[in-house]
Amino acid sequence: MKTITHWIDGKPVEGTSGRFGPVWNPATGVQEKQVALATADEVDAAVASARAAFESWGVSSLARRTAILFKYRELLDARRNEIAALITAEHGKVHSDALGEVARGLEIVELACGISVQLKGELSTQVSTRVDVASIRQPLGVVAGITPFNFPAMVPMWMFPLAVACGNTFVLKPSEKDPSAALLLAELASQAGLPEGVLNVVQGDKAAVDRLLEHPDVEAVSFVGSTPIAKYIQLKAVEHGKRVQALGGAKNHMLVLPDADLDFAADQAINAAYGSAGERCMAVSVVVAVGDTGDELVGRIAERARRLRIGPGDDPASEMGPLITREHRDKVASYVASAAEQGAEVVVDGTGHSVEGHEDGFFLGVSLLDRVPLTADAYRDEIFGPVLAVVRARTYEEAVELINSSRWGNGTAIFTRDGGAARRFQLEVKAGMVGVNVPIPVPVGYHSFGGWKDSLFGDLHIYGGDGVAFYTQGKVITTRWPDPSDGGINLGFPSNS
Ligand code: NAD
Per-residue pLDDT reduced to its tens digit, 434-465: 999 999 999 999 999 999 999 999 999 999 99
Low-confidence ranges of the chain (pLDDT < 50): none
CATH number of the domain enclosing 73: 3.40.605.10
Q: Give residue 497's pLDDT.
A: 74
Tell me, yes or no, whether 357 and 261 share the same domain: yes
Tell me, yes or no, whether 153 and 297 share the same domain: no
Tell me, yes or no, whether 202 and 96 share the same domain: yes
Residue 474 pairs in a beta bridge with 137
For the four alpha carbons of 448, 453, 458 and 459, in that order, the dihedral sign comes to positive
Q: φ, ψ for residue 433 (rounded to 5)?
A: -135, 125
Tell me, yes or no, whether 152 and 194 share the same domain: yes
Q: Is 283 in the pocket of ligand 1 (CB under 6 A)?
A: no
Give domain status of residue 495, yes or no.
Answer: no
Name the pTM for this structure.
0.97
Proportion of the chain above pLDDT 90, given as a percent: 96
Contacts of 245 (CB under 8 A, 6+ apart): 221, 222, 223, 450, 456, 457, 458, 459, 460, 461, 462, 470
Residue of 59, 188, 54, 61 whose CA lies nearest to 115: 61
Of 436, 463, 490, which one is at a domain's C-terminal end?
A: 436
CA–CA distance, 426 with 434 (Å, rounded to integer): 7
Q: Quote the domain boundaries for residue 376.
A: 252-436
- The verdict on whether 281 is a catalytic residue reads yes
Q: Are 460 and 245 in contact (CB under 8 A)?
A: yes
Tell me, yes or no, whether 307 and 175 share the same domain: no
Q: Give residue 211's pLDDT.
A: 98
The tens digit of pLDDT for each residue in 8-39 reads: 999 999 999 999 999 999 999 999 999 999 99
For the four alpha carbons of 358, 363, 368 and 373, in that order, the dihedral sign comes to positive
Show the CA angle centred on residue 280, arms to residues 73 and 152, nearest 5°. 40
Q: Is 384 in the pocket of ligand 1 (CB under 6 A)?
A: yes
Tell me, yes or no, whether 283 and 401 share the same domain: yes
CA–CA distance, 446 with 104 (Å, rounded to integer): 12
Residue 457 pairs in a beta bridge with 246
Q: How many angstroms is it from 226 CA to the middle of ligand 1?
A: 4
- Which of 224, 462, 463 gets mutated to test ligand 1 (max ligand atoms within 8 A of its CB)? 224
Q: How many angstroms is it from 467 CA to the middle of ligand 1?
A: 19
Q: How many domains does one find in the chain?
A: 2
Q: Are 182 and 149 in contact (CB under 8 A)?
A: no
CA–CA distance, 203 with 17 (Å, rounded to integer): 11
Tell me, yes or no, whether 237 and 326 share the same domain: no
Q: How many angstroms is it from 229 CA to the middle of ligand 1?
A: 6
281, 368, 390, 431: which is the annotated catalytic residue?
Answer: 281
